[in-house]
């Protein structure tokens, strides 16, 4: 897990490598409940919805090698 530090509107977010399943937002606060990891990912509160949800690890993705891979052109 990559640890980042971000301050938005007075709230300090210390881990942005987890994104919520509901709207791809970072968790509210700096703590996630790791006990739910075997069931899909850690749970916590979404900073956008303000609701409890499961968080998934941010997909860094692979860079596209060719235009064909990027756009699906043949």
Indicate the SS3 state at residue 32.
Answer: coil
Residue 48 predicted with pLDDT over 70: yes
Tell me the mean pLDDT in the region 24-29.
Answer: 86
- Bridge partner list, 55: 20
Contact 56, 41 (CB under 8 A): yes
Give the pLDDT confidence of 6-19 residue by residue, as tens digits: 555 666 655 457 88
CB-CB contact of 30 with 51 (8 Å)? no
């Amino acid at each position: 897990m990559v640890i980042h530090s971000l301050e938005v509107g007075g709230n300090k977010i210390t881990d942005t490598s987890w994104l919520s399943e509901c709207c791809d937002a970072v968790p509210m606060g700096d703590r996630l409940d790791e006990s739910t990891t075997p069931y899909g990912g850690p749970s916590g509160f979404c900073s956008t919805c303000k609701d409890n949800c499961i968080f998934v690890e941010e997909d860094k993705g692979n860079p596209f090698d060719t235009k064909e891979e990027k756009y699906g052109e043949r």
